[in-house]
Amino acid sequence: MPTQLSPRLAAVVNALPLQPHSRVLEIGCGPGAAARAVAARLTTGHILAIDRSATAIAQAQAAGTDEIASGRMSLRQAAGEDFVLQPDEEPYDLVFAVRVGALDGRHPELGRRMLQRIAAATTAGARLFIDGGDPLRELPIPRV
């Protein structure tokens, strides 16, 4: 586990039901510390870390060169409420977000849009976790 991981982020990563083959989507990755820690636990899996901030994505790219080179991690500048799978991109089976206002109730309309985007980008059995539990809280992914 990277030494720069805060105790709070370490608790979040440790609580995720990761498998070596998981396809993980992190919404609001910031400088990418949690994404790097997740990537370190994957063998054939992959984490896509997204953030609306170009600065955050640049920081995550600079810090995550090894994980990106290994093929276990990729980054994309995108807002969670606008996220869509790219052509030929496989859906994700695990999604997590830490301190994302649209998912913690601070921005309900954005939250509804984001949940629709998550539903469209995940497998039928996918799970969504946010902070605010002990240390995580699972949210249902709406299926139509």
Domain membership of residue 100 (yes or no) is yes
Predicted local distance difference test score (pLDDT) of residue 3: 47
Domain membership of residue 2 (yes or no) is no
- What CATH number is attached to the domain comprising 82? 3.40.50.150
pLDDT digits (tens, 9 = 90+) for 42-70: 999 999 999 999 999 999 999 999 999 99
Domain membership of residue 31 (yes or no) is yes
Range of the structural domain that residue 63 is part of: 7-139
Q: Convert 50-102 into a string of H (helix), E (strand) and C (coil).
A: EECCHHHHHHHHHHCHHHHHCCCEEEEECCHHHCCCCCCCCCEEEEEECCCCC
Structural contact between residues 32 and 63, judged by C-beta atoms closer than 8 angstroms:
yes
Number of domains in the chain: 1
pLDDT digits (tens, 9 = 90+) for 126-142: 999 999 889 999 999 99
Predicted local distance difference test score (pLDDT) of residue 104: 87
For the chain, percent helix, then strand, then coil, each to nearest 5?
35, 25, 40
Domain membership of residue 144 (yes or no) is no
